[in-house]
Chains A and B, each alone.
Chain A
Amino acid sequence: MPYLAAGDPDFESSLEYVEALAAGGADVIELGLPFSEPIAEGPTIQQAVVRSLEGGMTPERFFEFVAALDVDVPLVCMTYYNLIYQYGDEPVRSFVERAAEVGIEGVVVPDLPAEEADLLREACDEFGLDLIFIVAPTTAGDRLDRIMERVSGYVYVQARLGVTGARESLSDHTEETLARLEEYDVPKAVGFGISTGEHAASVVEAGADGVIVGSALIEIIAEGHETDDSTAAVAERIESLARELKAGAIEGGQRRPRPERT
């Protein structure tokens, strides 16, 4: 499950990059609608946000972007609450309605804890979107129950404390958090710091149903942008990392005692 910021570094190239992810075997694609204050993001995604906003991305452009995509993979929108709140005439509802219209199947909002999510929950139910919540290494006990009651689609398992960003190694928190979630019958996608096929394999082996990878893919875009590589060349690199991650995830599933779907 790859993540890209829509419109990074520009509308047209970004369309090709997202299509490359689909070609590389992505099962779900998370598309970021960039917000000027991305407080949960590390430097890689912060820079992607800057590139995309400078390229003229707005919520309306984002919906046009989604409508223009030629992919056959479920799309999930990841954005911050203020953009959802300000869109259209009816706070929250207008955004979700428009998202449903262009074919988005779910939303993740990193600055919206379950406590503040009633309005969005209602709108998502009305228009048939999944509302995906994040579970952190610090989430336990009653909080975890409350979140798992409200979640739909899948749960986003934050593998480590901190912000997004590709890392060399996996966090030891991952297995712990997955173990805590074992009893809940909701697919678990693990993200934050995963960057290679081998990481993906270990995470799936540890019980995840999916892996979320953002910064490692965005680094390819950033490098290509810096060295002025052609969109096609960058797209090829993105597709190849997507393929590696997918193969890793499948391999991880096979390493499990009893194989499950990835």
Chain B
Amino acid sequence: MSQPDTKFGEYGGQYVPEALMPAIEELTDAYRRYVLNNEAGFMDEFSERIEDFGGRPTPLQRAEQLSSRYGVDVYLKREDLLHGGAHKLNNALGQVLLAKYMGKERIIAETGAGQHGTATAMAAAHLDMPCEIYMGRRDINRQRPNVFRMRLNGAEVNPVDIGRGTLKEAISETMRDWATTVETTHYVIGSVVGPAPFPAMVRDFHAVISEEIRSQTAAKLGCLPGSVVACAGGGSNTMGAFAEFLGEDDVDLYAVEAGGSSLTVDEEAGVAPHSASLSTGEEGVLHGARTKLLQDRHGQIMESHSVSSGLDYSGVGPQLSHLVDEERVTPVDVGDDDALEAFHRLSQDEGIIPALETAHAFGFLETTLGPDGDGSVEFEEPVVVNVSGRGDKDLEAAIEETEARELENAPDMEVFE
């Protein structure tokens, strides 16, 4: 029988209150039986549902304009076309279904950008489970369309007011709910973070992304990708896009973090104006796992920043931390301005409005290969960029952030009264 991964080098583990440990043991057992060993045909049912309800497989599409702009072959893995508009449904549907197999009666989840909350609300409606979502007040205000989508799907959205009101606080608050309701409730964590077995399990539900990339590049081009590029907040779309290629040393893997407004930190205020935990973070323990974190010298967690809610997190998945230490994954960062520019470029040149999170992955191509690029990276071809989500949820924020900057490639955002 396959066994779950609980540690990745020194990273990972299970740093949670004792009250949760029995539930985590139960979940580890369910993950081993149903997911890893397909007991009761669980994975068959998951595959069928993610096809019929989710719309898999998603296309792998050549990006004509970007390929000619950058002089390299660029392909887009279109996770934005998955039901809900982001990769998040792979994991949400997988976990809600697993909760059902485990006999749980209620679903809770945190959300940053609202994409995971939306995906969880959809999956819970689809599988007829009651669902509550915790979301930071700040994120509620910058991702309002998703709040309404969650409510339309029957989920209750609980605002979290403590701290800066972003993803970190939402995760803490969801853990508190879980510590109270653990006997009946499953916590659908939204990325490859948290205590084992979550990082491995969430990765496995998203691994379908790289499995499809592998067969699609084989069928279309007769080769493996040369490079895979994905944005990384917690790192779930990242690990999903990388999973199949971890053992293929010829495939270069780039995790693009949010460089925010600057990579410096303000220790006094406990604020890092970025979310680049892989490139600048230090080892520590947060939300159940040992991983790379943005923290001050005392070990207090710093508030992160990014223009995109989904990347705005002080931690990152433990396996990604390990893969970076092993030099298997290259961490890079793209700031708010470059991400916004990339948001407009993809919209105009390829007819795809990306999520602001996803825009960071495209910003990386521009800052290295674009007309003003620094040429710092030689990409192996073909380059596959994971389009982790679509940008409909970001329109309000993108317009506001665009207006606050002088972006050369932004369209007219005038509102007609």
Contacts and interface: CB of A to CB of B under 8 A. Distances in A.
Interface of A: 35-42, 46, 50, 53, 58-60, 80-83, 85-87, 110-116, 133-140, 143, 147, 158, 161-163
B284 A39 contact: no
B125 interface: no
Q: Which of B163, B270, B286, B287 has the most CB of A within 10 A?
A: B286
A158 B15 contact: no
B19 A161 contact: yes
Interface string B233-266: 0000000000000000000000000000000000
B175 to A, nearest CB: 5
B18 A134 contact: yes
B407 to A, nearest CB: 34
Q: Which of B13, B270, B287, B300 has the most CB of A within 10 A?
A: B300
B21 A163 contact: no
Contacts of A139: 18-19, 21-22
Given A138-B23, A161-B181, A163-B179, A37 B18 contact: no
A238 to B, nearest CB: 25
A162 B180 contact: yes
A188 B148 CA distance: 48
Given A37-B168, A39-B172, A82 B17 contact: no
A2 to B, nearest CB: 21
B128 interface: no
23 contacts: A35-B300, A36-B300, A36-B301, A37-B301, A46-B162, A53-B300, A81-B15, A82-B293, A83-B300, A85-B284, A87-B299, A110-B17, A111-B17, A113-B16, A116-B15, A134-B19, A137-B19, A138-B22, A143-B21, A158-B19, A161-B19, A162-B176, A163-B179
A147 B288 CA distance: 19
Contacts of A87: 298-299
A104 B173 CA distance: 30
B298 A158 contact: no
B15 A143 contact: no
A66 B297 CA distance: 21
Contacts of A81: 15, 285
B295 interface: yes
A110 B20 CA distance: 11
A259 B354 CA distance: 70
Interface residues of B, number: 35
What are the 6 A-B residue pairs with the smallest beta carbon separation, nearest first?
A: A86-B299, A162-B180, A136-B19, A36-B300, A82-B285, A138-B22
A40 B287 CA distance: 11
B295 A82 contact: yes
Contacts of B288: 111
Interface string B178-203: 01111100000000000000000000
A39 B19 CA distance: 12
A81 B295 CA distance: 13
A39 B380 CA distance: 43
Given A83-B298, A111-B285, A161-B182, A39 B21 contact: no
Contacts of A161: 19, 179-183
A83 B284 CA distance: 9
Nearest to A49: B162
B17 A134 contact: yes
A152 B298 CA distance: 27
A140 B288 CA distance: 21
Contact of A136 (B17, B176, B286, B293): B17
Interface in B299-325: 299-301
B158 to A, nearest CB: 13
